[in-house]
Amino acid sequence: MEHSPLKVALIGDVHANLPALEAVLHVVEEEDCGMVLDTGDVVGYGPFPNEVLQRSRESRCFGVRGNYDRWISRFGETHRIGLHESAKADRLRERNPVKHASLRWTFETLTELNMAYITGLPKRREIEIDGALVVLLHGSIVSGNEGLRSTTPAARLRRLATLSPATVFVSGHSHDPFIRTANGKCFINPGSVGRPGDGDYRPSFAIAEITADGVSGDIRRVDYDIDAVLKQIRAQGLPPRIAEMFRLALHPSLLPSDFFLHVS
Ligand SMILES: [Mn+2]
């Protein structure tokens, strides 16, 4: 019998958007994917942090930690809730009160189990799939905060390709989906499930067949009930600008500079 390659679903930047994750996982099941890799930022901004983490575990998603997961897991220690607020917290609250409110709400809402789960997520994972070494990251091989984009210069990808024996690099963070090749290696960013940045609110993800011979795959979009997430943002008393951000689906750099200053 001929060996058929494993179908792998690549997801990430779910940002606690459960209806979007459900819509993606529905396609993942239909497509009979044998593995789900998650590039992180599972939580932050969205109103379903506990539900999304539970669903991720049920679906056996292999994940890594994003910057939002890290900020939220450390919120208690850096922001000293109930004691005194640190200078860092004051700066964030001044510069981006909407983000501060979101981090604080998520920190206070997560169950102990889910907090332990995001705290324990590794920074990177290396997985062998059909003879190919895949490295799963939030940002790049050098930094969790380096967002690789469809427009990242090819020379930068070629440089990053030399820094790991992996032949497939899966990363998120930029919310900008692409599949590119550099130095004969494959770079995939599935885009954002919960909060896309290109003005189209539909979740972005990828389905790929990975073997030692190479990768074939594509970026997918699927529609979902965005009103369900907007309604829950209001119900949880989160800043209305968060709902607006989900609806507009624009990268923060494309939003007006005072966008995140209004918490009510
Ligand atoms: Mn991120």
Q: Residue 73's domain is classified under what CATH number?
A: 3.60.21.10
Q: How far is the CA of 31 from the centre of ligand 1 (A)?
A: 27
Show contacts of 256-260: CB within 8 Å, 24+ apart: 259/98, 260/96, 260/97, 260/98, 260/99
Q: Does some domain include residue 185? A: no
Model confidence band, residue 33 (pLDDT cutoffs 50, 70, 90): very high
Ligand 1 centroid from CA 103, angstroms: 13
Q: Distance from the CA of 249 to the center of ligand 1, in angstroms?
A: 15
In the reported structure, the alpha carbon of residue 43 is separated from the centroid of ligand 1 by a whole-number distance in angstroms of 10
pTM of the model: 0.94
Whether residue 19 is contained in a domain is answered as yes
Question: Is 30 a member of any domain?
Answer: yes
Query: CA 74 to CA 80: how far, in whole Å?
Result: 10
3 CA distance to ligand 1 middle (Å):
36
Domain that holds residue 74: 7-123+196-261
pLDDT at 86: 64
Can you tell me whether residue 62 is helix, strand or coil?
strand
Residues of the chain with pLDDT > 70, as a percent, come to 95
* pLDDT at 97 (0 to 100): 93
> Does any domain span residue 182?
no
Asked if 210 contacts 130 with a C-beta cutoff of 8 angstroms, the reply is yes
Question: Distance, CA 197 to ligand 1 centroid (Å)?
Answer: 12
CA angle 66–56–208, rounded 5-degree value: 80
Q: 212-231 pLDDT, tens per residue? A: 999 999 999 999 999 999 99
Tell me the average pLDDT of the chain. 93
Q: How far does residue 160's CA lie from ligand 1's centre (Å)?
A: 19
The per-residue pLDDT for 23 is 98
pLDDT band, very low/low/confident/very high, at 250 (cuts 50, 70, 90): very high
Asked whether the beta carbons of 170 and 10 are under 8 A apart, the reply is: yes
Give residue-wise pLDDT tens across range 144-174. 999 999 999 999 999 999 999 999 999 999 9
What is the pLDDT averaged over residues 100-113?
95
Assess if residue 81 is contained within a domain: yes
How far does the centroid of ligand 1 lie from the alpha carbon of residue 91, in Å? 20
- Average pLDDT estimate for 189-198: 97
- What is the 13 CA–ligand 1 centroid distance (Å)? 7
Ligand 1 centroid vs 44 CA: distance in angstroms?
9
Of the pLDDT bands very low, low, confident and very high (cuts 50, 70, 90), residue 10 is very high
41 domain-assigned: yes
**Span 128-145, mean pLDDT?**
96
At 76 the pLDDT is 74
pLDDT band at 84 (very low <50, low <70, confident <90, very high): very low
| Total domains in the fold of the chain | 1
Classify residue 146: in a domain, yes or no: no
Asked if residue 206 is part of any domain, the answer here is: yes
The alpha carbon of 63 and the centre of ligand 1 are apart by a number of angstroms equal to: 13
Distance 236 CA to ligand 1 centre (A): 23
Q: Are 25 and 224 in contact (CB under 8 A)?
A: no
**75: confidence class by pLDDT, cuts 50, 70, 90:** confident
Which range, 76-80, 188-192, 212-216, is most confident? 188-192
